[in-house]
């Protein structure tokens, strides 16, 4: 009788333990997206795990478009995108919520780059032999046609689309496939010039200089004050099935700790 009671008690205890473990299960979120956000995501992952116990597994190399497709297919849980969703992506049941913005900057390996205007930059893309103010050559680096930063430039500045198309006719100009490839090239090429997100340059501690635009250095404070008006958004993309996981992460990013992480990685929270 005692043996039967002992076995029953053990079974009850085991069931309670299993129930407790299920309730306290750690969730691992598979996240990918634009290369310019990977440094930011790593910092978020560390603080999110400390605050909630949940893990973020970062899958590199997919870019916004590839990661969005993988999220729609259920291969990824969440995507960090540098652009809003396209109609065909929304049609697949995806939602995008902007959670941060960073400065869209031009960077160079040149030690002391002179200030440029947007018109200067357009002319540099058009020119067959662009030069810095000291007469040294400017070495452009192009991004792929559907790169998020390129799309921002083309949509924001009149004449930029045609100028970039003109630059693509020059076979000597390298084309970088990813944000990391672009920054690597910019570090290696003397007199380089390419667009990027401030968050990437800061979090990856790149050996690059920011090019002032109209005399304004592209820093976070300048972006927040409106002195530097060129920005790049970040969206969290998720499916209906992963809405709860996305909302959990978004709630963290809205918290005091989450906002501090965003600022420390060169971003302004969307709520500010």
Sequential pLDDT tens for the chain (272 residues):
444 433 444 443 344 334 444 444 678 999 999 999 999 999 999 999 999 999 999 998 888 889 999 999 999 999 999 999 999 999 999 999 999 999 999 999 999 999 999 999 999 999 999 999 999 999 999 998 888 888 888 988 989 999 999 999 999 999 999 999 999 999 999 999 999 999 999 999 999 999 999 999 999 999 999 999 999 999 999 999 999 999 999 999 999 999 999 999 999 999 88
For domain 102-225, give the fold. Answer: D-Maltodextrin-Binding Protein; domain 2 (3.40.190)
Contact 63, 41 (CB under 8 A): no
Q: Where are the domains of the chain?
A: 27-101+233-269, 102-225
Query: Residue 109's closest CA among 133, 135, 138?
Result: 138
Write down the pLDDT at residue 16: 38
Q: What is the CATH number of domain 27-101+233-269?
A: 3.40.190.10
**Residue 42 backbone phi and psi in degrees, to 5:** -60, -45
Write down the pLDDT at residue 11: 44
Give the Cα separation of 253 and 272 in Å (integer): 12
Write down the pLDDT at residue 149: 87
């Amino acid at each position: 009788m005692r043996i039967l009671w002992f076995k029953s008690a053990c079974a009850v205890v085991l069931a309670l333990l299993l129930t407790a473990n299920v309730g306290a299960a750690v969730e691992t979120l598979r996240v990918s997206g634009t290369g310019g956000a990977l440094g930011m995501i790593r910092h978020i992952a560390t603080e999110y795990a400390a605050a909630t116990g949940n893990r973020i597994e970062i899958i590199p190399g997919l870019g916004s478009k590839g990661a969005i497709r993988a999220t729609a297919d259920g291969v990824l849980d969440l995507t960090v995108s540098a652009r809003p969703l396209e109609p065909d992506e929304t049609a697949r049941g995806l939602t995008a919520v902007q959670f941060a913005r960073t400065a869209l900057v031009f960077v160079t390996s040149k030690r002391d780059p002179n200030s440029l205007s947007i018109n200067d930059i357009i002319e540099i893309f058009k020119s067959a032999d662009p030069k810095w103010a000291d007469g040294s050559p400017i070495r452009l680096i192009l991004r792929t046609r559907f790169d998020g930063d390129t799309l921002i430039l083309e949509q924001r500045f009149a004449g930029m689309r045609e100028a970039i198309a003109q630059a693509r006719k020059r076979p000597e100009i390298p084309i970088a496939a990813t944000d990391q490839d672009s920054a690597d090239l910019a570090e290696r090429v003397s007199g380089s010039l390419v667009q990027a997100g401030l968050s990437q340059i800061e979090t990856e501690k790149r050996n690059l200089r920011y090019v002032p635009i109209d005399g304004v250095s592209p820093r976070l404070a300048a972006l927040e004050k409106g002195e530097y008006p060129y920005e790049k958004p970040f969206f969290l993309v998720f499916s209906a099935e992963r809405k709860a996981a996305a909302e959990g992460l978004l709630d963290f990013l809205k918290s005091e700790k989450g906002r501090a992480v965003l600022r420390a990685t060169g971003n302004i929270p969307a709520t500010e």
